[in-house]
Structure 1
Amino acid sequence: MLLAFDSTQQALRAEMLLEYADIEIDIRPTPKEITAGCALSIEFPGADLAQVQEIVESENVEIRGIYFKKEDGYGTIVEN
C-alpha cells in the first residue's frame, strides 16, 4: 500500500505518526503514475490499512490518497 501527499510537511508528519504507532513503513519516491504535489510517499503493509486510515483521519493528516500496486500501475483505495 502507498500513501501519497500534496506536501512534504504532511509526508514527514505522517512518517512520525506511523513510526510512533510501530507500523513498518518505507519512504520512497512517489511513482509517476500517481499525480501528487510531493515527491515522497510512504509504503506500508496492506495488513495495516485500517490502522493507517485511523491515524490519518484522527490526526488530520492531509493526503493525496492511498493506493495499491496492480499489474498495470496503481489502483485507488482513498483519494482526496
Structure 2
Amino acid sequence: MLIAFDSTQQALRAEMLLEYVEIEIDICPTPKEITAGCALSIHFEEGDLEQVKQVIVSEKVEIRGIFQEVAVGVYKLIE
C-alpha cells in the first residue's frame, strides 16, 4: 500500500504521525504512474490500512490518495 501526497510537508508530517503510533513504514519515491505534487510517498503493509486511515483522518493529513499496487507498476486508487 502506498500513500501519495501533494506536498513534502504533509509527507513528512504523516511519517512522524505513523511512526509515533508504531506503524511500520518506508519513505519511497512516488511512482511515476501516480500523479502527485510531491516526490515522496509512504509505503505500508496492507494489514495496517485501517489504522493508517484513522491517523490520516483524525490528524487531518492532506493526501493525494492511498493506492494499492495491483501489478508491477500498476496502481489502483482505494481511498
TM-score in terms of structure 1 length: 0.96
Distance in 2 (alpha carbons) for counterparts of 1:9 and 1:74: 23
Q: Give the deviation of 1:37 after TM superposition.
A: 0.1
| 3-state SS of 1:54 partner | helix
Letter matched to residue 52 of structure 1: V
SS at 2:77's partner residue? strand
Q: Over residues 25-45 of structure 1, what are the superposed CA-to-partner deviations in whole Å (9 max), with x where a residue is unaligned?
A: 000000000000000000000
For 1:41, the aligned partner's letter is S
Q: CA deviation at 1:60?
A: 0.2
| Unmatched tracts of structure 1, length 5 or more | none
CA RMSD across the alignment = 0.7
SS in 2 for 1:16: helix
- Show the 5 A alignment for 1:31-70: 31-70=31-70
Cα distance, 1:70 vs structure 2: 1.1
> Number of residues paired by the alignment?
78
Percent identical among aligned pairs is: 68
- Structure 2's unaligned 5+ residue stretches are none
1:1-80 superposed matches below 5 A: 1-71=1-71, 73-78=74-79
